[in-house]
Amino acid sequence: MHLAFMTFATPTWTLQEILAGAIRFGYDGIEPRTVCGHKHGIELELTKAQRAEVRAAFADCGIKMSAVATSLSYATPDQARIDERVEETKRYLQLASDLGSPTIRVFGGQPPEEMDMAAAVEAVAGALARCAQTAADCNVNLALETHDAFSLGKYAGAVVAKVNHPRVGFNWDMAHSVRHGESVAETYEIIKGRVFHSHVHDITWPEENIHDLTMVTMGTGMVDHREAIRLMAGESADIALSLEWECEDPAEVVLPREAAALRAYMAEVGPG
């Protein structure tokens, strides 16, 4: 495992500022979020030469590009829309390969009311299956996030099982699984062995509304990240524990504080 952060924590920082911040605050990797107006500039439109420059910038300072976080989702009955997203996914896989990222993050999404979960699982699995060979050719993982309608391991797991390809696995955001009713251990039992990446952020929510989220300091919320990290320590992949912090709190405060808590959890399970 290694420690990373998504650029939601640093949306106004340039790539050089982000890399310097990672070094300063004790992170091993960065997860750039695309199509959000973040100032890092890592987007599909980069030329081959620009991609080489970005890759060199990471290599020169010893920071990993842990994953490329896309907003792609596939849970729709609109086949033309799925076709577009499959082609875009393949472009992101090539981008990740050019940049030296081992993984791209994708979503299942939230299906429309007329689409039941069985059909949504089929749609997402079908789309990812069409991308699997490109992922293999690019040597890049497709990581389906436990999020939206696929927050529960039973749904995300059904997709990955249907695809049944070594390059298709999970980005485990355990906070979403927990708030939708699965324990950390229950979700992990479903997804174990196929976790490529993870999102970490402690949160709270009122019992009457699981969508009313408040981000809180690691270890003070309702998600047992210590247990999740202990479980993931047994995975063969070099999983990024990627801090996804979407509040307006200053990065200079959030990044070192969250790194200290996560490093303490990592130290409990030892090297891995």
Cα–chain center distance at 250? 22
Say if domain 2-269 classifies as CATH 3.30.70.1290: no
What is the predicted pLDDT for the residue at 272?
55
Start-end of H helices in 164-246: 174-179, 184-191, 225-232
What is the predicted pLDDT for the residue at 247?
80
Q: What is the pTM of this model?
A: 0.97
- The sheet with strand 2-6 has its strands ordered as 64-65, 29-31, 2-6, 240-243, 195-200, 168-173, 141-145, 103-106, 68-69
How far is 237 from 244, CA to CA, in rounded Å?
20
DSSP 113-178: TTS-HHHHHHHHHHHHHHHHHHHHHHT-EEEEES-GGG-SHHHHHHHHHHH--TTEEEEEEHHHHH
The low-confidence residues of the chain, meaning pLDDT below 70, are: 271-272
Could you tell me the residue ranges of all domains in the chain?
A: 2-269
Q: Which of 33, 48, 44 is nearest to 90 (CA)?
A: 44
